[in-house]
Amino acid sequence: MTRQHAESPPGGRSGSAARARLHDKQSERDHRELRIDKVGVRGLRFPIQVRDKAHSVQNTVATIGMFVDLPKEFKGTHMSRFLEVLNAHGSVMHVENIPDILFAMQKKFNAATSHLEMEFPYFMVKRAPVSGMPSVMDYTARFDAAACNHEIDFVLTVKANVTTLCPCSKAISARGAHNQRGAVTVQVRFKKPIWIEDLIEIIESSASSELYALLKREDEKHVTERAYDNPVFVEDLVRNIALKLNAHPDVTWYKVEAENQESIHNHNAYACIEKG
């Protein structure tokens, strides 16, 4: 193969000449005069490291969204640049790098605002309440961070499942009471970082009982009787969590949602409290 053939694309055109003819459609002017609040990429999976209260750091995989605002005069944004910003910070994202990534997006896109969302499974080893058998429980955590000029807003979300037993059912029934799995979502803003594990503990301690991945017979008896002795409406659940968040010195805002997958109704029960 000659040097000319090795360096030229098919048809004899040079790489620079071919690139010169690639039109930048996104940078064309748009005449609809409508600013877009958030434009970017979503559904990107990427390895991350998050702080782990028990083991210093935990490696997991996040589903990521990255966005910036788009001024009204531009037709579109350059989606590949989001990936360039992300990969410029290494093959594994560290939570401590979130402000750097937000500011890098602002600079890369010449944007006033930038947004980063990360949702990921978070794992904890739990021991069964009687047998002490260890098992791994998974939870869902999420970071929503935004930068407006030099100001950063950060929201931590934790989702955990619990058991709730109906106080009304217990009060009117001669034998037993219906219970259900409740899905709880807690979102917080804070003055100082809060451990994911601490929010999980607040959620689980506010229900009739917490859940476990592994239970032996003696554990199942204990959990069933504990739930029966601690009946909780969905309203009780969000109030119990809210009281503990009210007492937390570093929480500045919160939103608590609980949804019970009712076992004797063909609908779910829902409650929400927001404060701050």
* Residue 248: pLDDT over 70: yes
Mean of the pLDDT values across residues 250-270?
A: 96
Mean of the pLDDT values across residues 178-201?
A: 97
Of 212, 115, 120, 106, the residue nearest 154 (C-alpha): 115
Q: How far is CA 128 from the centre of its chain?
A: 27
CB contact set of 214 (below 8 Å; sequence gap of 6+): 128, 133, 134, 135
* Residue 15: pLDDT over 90: no
Cα torsion 54, 56, 61, 64: sign = positive
pLDDT of residue 20: 60
Q: Which CATH superfamily is domain 36-275 in?
A: Urate Oxidase; (3.10.270.10)
Of 211, 237, 64, 82, the residue nearest 142 (C-alpha): 64
- Pair 126, 132: CB distance under 8 Å: no
| CB-CB neighbours of 4 under 10 Å | 8
* Residue 253: pLDDT over 80: yes
Q: Could you tell me the pLDDT band of residue 271, with boundaries at 50, 70 and 90?
A: very high
66-89 pLDDT, tens per residue?
Answer: 999 987 777 778 899 999 999 999
Mean of the pLDDT values across residues 31-46?
A: 90
- Pair 184, 199: CB distance under 8 Å: no
pLDDT of residue 14: 54
198-236 pLDDT, tens per residue?
Answer: 999 999 999 999 999 999 999 999 999 999 999 999 999
Q: What is the pTM of this model?
A: 0.87
Cα torsion 51, 250, 212, 269: sign = negative
Calpha distance 146→114 (Å, rounded):
6
101-129 pLDDT, tens per residue?
Answer: 999 999 999 999 999 999 999 999 999 99
| CB-CB neighbours of 177 under 10 Å | 17
Q: Could you tell me the pLDDT band of residue 4, with boundaries at 50, 70 and 90?
A: very low
* Residue 27: pLDDT over 90: no
List Cα–Cα distances, 36 to 33, 114, 118, in angstroms.
10, 12, 21
Q: Are strands 134-148 and 93-94 parallel, antiparallel or unpaired?
A: unpaired
> How far apart are the two ends of the chain, measured CA to CA in Å?
70
- Pair 187, 153: CB distance under 8 Å: no
* Residue 10: pLDDT over 70: no
